[in-house]
Structure 1
Amino acid sequence: MTKRLAAFLVCAVASLAAQAATIDAVISPNAIVVTVDGQARVHTLEGKPVLYCGLEAFLGWSARLLGAQIDPGAEAGPVVTLGGKTVPIALLFVREGWLRSPALNDAAQEALAERRGGWACAPKTEPFAQMGNRVDPKITAGIAMNESSYRGRPWPWTLNVAGRGMFFSTREEAYAAINRLLANQRCDFDVGLMQVNWCYHGKRFASPWEALAPATNIRVAEDILTENLQRSGSAMKAVAWYHSANPERGGPYFSRFMKHVATFQ
């Protein structure tokens, strides 16, 4: 190695070391302090903090980020390195349920529906208020409690196959199960938070994967409820018919729905 090349490498390494950036403090889900070459700067992130559980809960969770390496100038915004893997810090906060991103992307929907992070302390109606747009969230939340309740809350990765409820840990697992059913020419199953029946309503979705998206699932349920209301002229029947137009089945379903609604804040 020539002296000139060696000198160049030493300078390059020194330059990289000087530019190394770390997280010095986390102020809130949309503000972090980054130290670069001895100088501290506050970086703000797009979105709204999700602090239903309080700021202290978030600060306790985020303590693991202190001292982590970060690239503050990345195209996707500040990118943090954790466990040898890089991730945009805004995406990390959204995915873990502490930041509500401007757009309800998959990560935001999953955090809401699974009640991660700060969403864990939000009212049960909040995911439906955030992801629905035409029906009172108390109505969609009450139906979801009837349809996909697991451990006291609606669960997005739920299927009901010929009357048998199946709860999956992830969207990917539920999607794989749907594909197995479809490969066997089955359509007698309900999908997602709102348990939309595939035989009757599968064509409303672009794909089985999209059917599991919480926001899409809720909006299709809103379409069905709106159509039920137009046909029946009755809000009570619109809810009961979501399950069955047969009064012997729809009546008890509506009663269970009302019990859930009565518990909402």
Structure 2
Amino acid sequence: MNRIPDPDSFAALKEHALRAEAKGFDHVETWVFDLDNTLYPASSRLFDQIDAKITAYIAHHYDIDGLSARALQKHYYRKHGTTLRGLMAEEGLDPADFLAFVHDIDHSVLVPAPELAAGIARLPGRRFVLTNGSRRHAESVIARLGVADLFEDVFDIAAAGFVPKPEHAAYDAFLKLHGVVPDRAAMFEDLSTNLVVPHSLGMRTVLVTPRGGEPEGLERLTASDDASPAPHVDHMTDDLPGFLTALAIVASE
């Protein structure tokens, strides 16, 4: 049975629809979604588990205390884009061991998201997940959310040659592998900096912001990320399912 939205919800959907129409999504044939804190809400605190595991990994690897490990984690993240890339560049670390450890988390905090699934299912064309995480982690997340069968593929950090977003090469590798035409694609991300390259390539960009300003882990923050509009952000929403429903409203008119 379909849920009838209350007047406030309907008004919000209408506003989404008007903005989406103004930005123009009618040309989009490929829909690309980041994973962590994008497909699921930051309020689930799932990524906090990963963030803590990264700190623990560094503490064990260097035999240092937690505060020192946190400082080193921040250094690697700022300098290299991800802690993993820093460890690979400066320590020659095998990424498989790192990824297996940091993604060994409790995914049960995620619950099925039928409204999200319905919104994604309505999108015409191809759909992908593009993540700096591992395929194993991504597949666990989308399975818990109930959206696994809605995506053509998961493009993970290994597929990108361990070059993370926001590096241009990460997007180039994805576009080449799947034959995606960027000016006929849309990208959904929770990090503004990860939308700079997609926008420059001609992709429609959507920044997914946390509701209520939930704090994010170290690995999800950069100095340039905030809630203010930027030229490379075509649209902002704190309600991804609502935004996707709005796209369906626009398409049906």
Fold shared by both chains (TM-score > 0.5): no
Which of the two has greater strand per residue?
1
TM-score by length of 1: 0.27
Higher relative CO (CA 8 A, sep ≥ 6), structure 1 or 2? 2
Q: Please, what TM-score do these two structures have when normalized by structure 2? A: 0.28
Larger radius of gyration: 1
